[in-house]
Structure 1
């Protein structure tokens, strides 16, 4: 097979990149490889001859657009994504009950979510696919088929892709330890030994917001309203329609132009007031 056109993935962490990656790499097979921009050559695009998929979180918010490449923008409802990110990076703080550390982390990442989605709503090529985790998990093969079609020099083999998707959801016994053993006591929170699917071993399982140790429904709504408002403030007016579609696809209600001009949503104001006092809230 001729080299597929490399796919550029811009992703908010914990939004299903590895599920997409396994579908793409298992479909195309050897000798093709994928590139983690932070751990490979750090070039954009990747200069390795066999790279057909490049992952980039765009943490610096200055990643350039590569002309002629298919793009997928991967993201997720901010609250479950940020919970999962905190669990992965700071399991010891969960164990220690460091709620304040969680709150600081969550606000920082909600603002990053807003910046990332606003930026790529503005600059992504018109053909870019905005793919929320919620839709990807509902029909991974269906959504990924369109991406493979954009990459492949040949027509998509639907039977092969269906087989790849089925293989990834089959039960596997005793998965390798490095797939599941992370976090406190050498194990990722929520992971289990024994019989699991590949998706479960990699963390692709439905999560309940209430299962997070520091869950607070008001804080969850605050984070998502903050992200929606900040993204609306940052995106150029001509691209707000694109942003609104992306937010709704992940189950987030975008704010209209009037709401954006009026300042932060009421819940954001109220929680700021609790922390900083009424005067600070009025100044937001």
Structure 2
């Protein structure tokens, strides 16, 4: 009698812009699928295989891997893979990213000094170039088996997002289970609140209307597949230092490198 042959784990590849709700999505997916799923945050895991797809499935039916695709080498054609592509409106994303950088490396608000303002402009310029490359690789023509997950949708419709993912992996969507998962995570408060709280961007010390309006306008014009709406009414962004730095210092619009090696090298 032939022995049982275990099916390979389904690769679930998370390609996400930083500060777009990846950790919240990971908690939702882990809770919904339970022990059938292994989650790997990759960047901070000791002994990680650093491969896509994961070589250490540990007998699980699915492996969900995190990637921000910083080097733009994450393959788009992994056999049998499901891609979860996460993005967020550029203004709230930039504010969240700047506040994280302030906590981790002491980045100062742009109003404090000329040096702080220049550093803030460069921060936005780097992010603008990254948004453009991410857009061109993941949003214009997404992989066939992909879910495009906007931060606002994840916040307001987590049950629908979970059911979409379940369909992609070939598991019958369970509306009751998805609702229970969303409720459990909502009720836990604490951990989610720290990384995923609704925000008023104008209240942030890093809200610089002129710079953010230029940044937002450039993203909207050059990255239409995101479908972002203007919130700050920026015009004339091509004269702003954020645009000039993105072009001259951060390679805005230059092609990303081909998928020659692992994103996790």
Which category describes the TM-score, using the shorter chain as reference length?
0.7 to 0.9
User: What is the distance in 2 between the residues matched to 1:268 and 1:24?
Assistant: 39
Match of 1:205 among 189, 197, 204: 197
Which of 135, 153, 163 is matched with 2:153 structurally?
Answer: 135
Shift of 1:105: 0.8
Q: Secondary structure at the match of 1:90?
A: helix
Residue 207 of structure 2 is aligned to residue 166 of structure 1: no
Worse overlay, 24-33 or 158-167? 24-33
Match status 1:29 vs 2:34? yes
Gaps of 5+ in 2: 1-6, 246-265
CA distance in 2, matches of 1:131, 1:228: 18
**Pairwise CA distance, 1:69:** 1.3
Query: What's the TM-score once normalised by structure 1's chain length?
Result: 0.70
Q: Which has the higher helix share?
A: 1
Give the CA deviation at 1:158.
2.1
Any residues of structure 2 matched to 1:199-278 within 5 Å, and which? 199-201=192-194, 203-231=195-223, 244=224, 246-248=225-227, 250-251=228-229, 266-272=235-241
How far apart, in 1, do the equivalents of 2:201 and 2:100 lie? Answer: 16
**Greater relative contact order, per chain length (Cα 8 Å cut-off, separation 6+):** 2
Does the C-alpha gap of structure 1 residues 198 and 3 become closer, same or farther in structure 2, counting only changes over 3 Å? Answer: farther
Cα distance in structure 2, aligned partners of 1:59 and 1:142: 28
TM superposition shift of 1:144: 2.0
Shift of 1:214: 2.7
1:52-201 correspondence to structure 2 within 5 Å: 52-65=63-76, 66-91=78-103, 92-94=106-108, 97=112, 98-122=116-140, 124-152=142-170, 154-170=171-187, 172=188, 196-201=189-194
Contact 1:4 1:151 in 2 (8 A): no
Give the CA deviation at 1:123: 5.2
- Specify the alignment match of 1:259 in structure 2: none
Q: How many residues align?
A: 225
- Which residue, out of 15, 22, 40, partners 1:17? 22
Mapped contact 2:147–2:164 kept (Cα < 8 A) = no
Question: Given the two structures, how large is their TM-score scaled by the length of structure 2?
Answer: 0.75
SS at match of 1:38: coil
Match of 2:50 in 1: 42
Q: Secondary structure at the match of 1:45?
A: coil
- Between 68-77 and 115-124, the greater mean CA deviation after superposition: 115-124
Q: State the alpha-carbon separation in 2 of the partners of residues 123 and 28 from structure 1.
A: 28
Gaps of 5+ in 1: 173-195, 232-243, 254-264, 277-284
